[in-house]
Every structure is written in structure tokens, then in C-alpha cells.
Structure 1
């Protein structure tokens, strides 16, 4: 005996506040990285993707990450990450070494010069984050920790 499945209910339309939130969030997702990148390039000659690569490496034990993990952390393809690391390698900021546990894999390692470069660029990045994002939230009654948890939940749900 077959059961007839009722058609799914149509999605509930967005109310005006929800619509405004979604539209503004899309703009922020698009514009914020561009603004941060423009600031870093102007002030430090360092693109945001290179800054983020140095940052992620600096936060790991031995300042070392497998290339595929670094690509995922920076939201890049492996080939895109390879190009970024190659640029950083020519500047002496990163070097690539074979993985000890897998002869086919490669690790990116942050050099002392790379850590110094990150430290030099950090104030410009911090100023940009404050100017383009945090200063706009300062006068609102927001729980930033709760907002961060909500964003993380969204980012990890597939």
C-alpha cells in the first residue's frame, strides 16, 4: 500500500526586517573582504589572502600546516593556496617542506621573516577591522560573543 506524501509547505516569506538583514549581510560578505584587502594593500603592500595565510600559520604549533588544511582555513582551493604560498615563498616569508607522515603531501611553514611581516601588518589589519566592522557595531546593544557563535553555527552547517 503506497502512502501519498503531501506537498511540502511553501517557504514562509521574509518579513521586512529579515529581508533587510539578508540583503545587508550579502553586501557585507561581498564588501568587507574587499575593504580589508584594499587597506592592507595600500598600507602594507600585502593582500588580505597573504595576511590570512601568515596569520593561520602563526597560530599553529611549529608554525606549520598541511597545504590542504591551510587552503581550507583560508577558504581557497588547493591550487589557489599553492599560488599564494609560492608568492610568499619568493619573499622568504613561507617555505614548503614535505610532510613527514605522507611523502606525497606538503606543509607550509612560516619563517621568522614571515612572522615579522605579519607583526608589521597586524596594526593595519586591526585598524581596518575596527573601521569597517566593529565601529559600526559599537553603539548597538549586541552580544558579540553570541553573534560570533551564531555566525560560526551558520558557517559550519552544510
Structure 2
């Protein structure tokens, strides 16, 4: 085996650990959100992303931006938006300046559900990270996440 093979193997093992950590966290949050609020992780993420929009120039996200933010294809995002719209948690309307554009806003019911679900999401995330920190394979990743959160943000252009 060459040094390059060894480095790639280490990188692949790191990627597997990261994937495992993500899966465990997502599954734990999914169970918590489903049982307490009848929301999936993706639905929660979509409501969260859309709740951060604002009126005015650049305030509304295009569907591609929303899809990228919730890590879904555009078609899957559209289906998710439709599902939440059917539940009365979102509404869609045509853009005033570009008739081809469709905006999506979180309804009052959606904002209320998001506010109720946020503590559940945060608690489940903390629980999943605490559990992962006890696993020697995942502990360094949890530590890296915690350090990222503590580190001051870099100045723009730095």
C-alpha cells in the first residue's frame, strides 16, 4: 500500500464516520419531531429556512435556493412545499415583478408550529451529540462541531 492509498483510506474512514454521525443525529431528531409535532426533519428544515426570508429585494428565496438549503432536489422540494401547503403551514403566490417566479411563505400556523418544534429539535440535537460524543469514533467529529460553534466568525474576505 502506498502513502496515498493510506491517506485515501483514512479520508474514506473519516467520511464514513461523518456519514454515521449525520445519520444518527437525523434519525434521533426525526423521531423527536415526528412524535411531538408530526413533522419530519425535512419539513422542519423547510419551515425554518422559509421563516428566515424577508420582504424586499433579495428577501425571498428561489426554489433552487430553498432546495439547496434543505439538501433536496428541486422536484422533491416542490413536493414537500405542496405537502406543507396542503396542511396549511405554507402558502405560495406569484412574484409581482416576475410572473414566472413563485414565492413561498410560512403561514401563521406554520410559524406557530415551528416555534413549538424548535425546542424539541434543539433538545434532540443536543441529546444526539452527547450520545455520539461517547463513541470514540465519533467523538472527534462532535468536538470539531462544538469548536466550530465557539470559534468567532471570520471577517468577510478573510
Aligned residue pairs total 141
Which residue, 44, 49, 53 being the options, matches 1:60?
Answer: 53
Which residue, 76, 82, 104 being the options, matches 2:78?
Answer: 82
Superposed displacement of residue 102, structure 1 = 2.1
SS in 2 for 1:107: strand
CA distance in 2, matches of 1:40, 1:20: 30
Q: Any unmatched runs of 5+ in structure 2? A: 151-158
2:21 equivalent in structure 1:
28
1:38 equivalent in structure 2:
31
Deviations 1:91-150 (A, max 9, x none): 11100111233211211111111110100111111111000125644997946465469x
Which residue, 92, 96, 114 being the options, matches 1:100?
Answer: 96
TM-score after normalising by structure 1: 0.73
Superposed displacement of residue 65, structure 1 = 2.9
Seen in structure 2, the aligned counterparts of structure 1 residues 77 and 144 have a Cα distance that, compared at 3 Å, is: closer
CA contact (8 A) 2:24 2:128 kept: no
CA distance in 1, matches of 2:62, 2:112: 21
In our comparison, the structure showing a higher alpha carbon Rg is: 1
TM-score after normalising by structure 2: 0.73
